[in-house]
């Protein structure tokens, strides 16, 4: 189960995942700006970390999915 689905299924929040290549340069901010336009955001997170098969790093903790 993805972290966004887990958050939505255990609380009353809605999530949106936006995939960008942070190695792409300044144009990623245009993508982020247009994808986030008009949204009321309570928390904006980033999981820009190494990703191994079904394991992610979130807030300096490793989670196996």
Which DSSP symbol is given to 52?
B
Checking if the pLDDT of 45 tops 80, the result is no
Higher pLDDT: 57 or 42? It is 42
Stretch 36-55: mean pLDDT: 69
pLDDT of residue 22: 76
Stretch 30-51: mean pLDDT: 77
* % pLDDT > 70, the chain: 66
Q: pTM score > 0.85 for this model?
A: no
- Among residues 48, 54, 51, the alpha carbon closest in space to that of 20 is found at 48
Mean predicted lDDT score pLDDT of the chain: 75
């Amino acid at each position: 189960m993805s972290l966004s689905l887990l958050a939505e299924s255990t609380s009353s929040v809605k999530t949106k995942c936006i995939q960008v290549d942070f190695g792409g340069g300044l144009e990623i901010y245009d993508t982020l700006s247009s994808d986030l336009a008009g949204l009321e955001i309570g928390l904006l997170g980033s999981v820009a970390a190494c990703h191994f098969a079904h394991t992610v790093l979130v807030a300096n903790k490793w989670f196996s999915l």
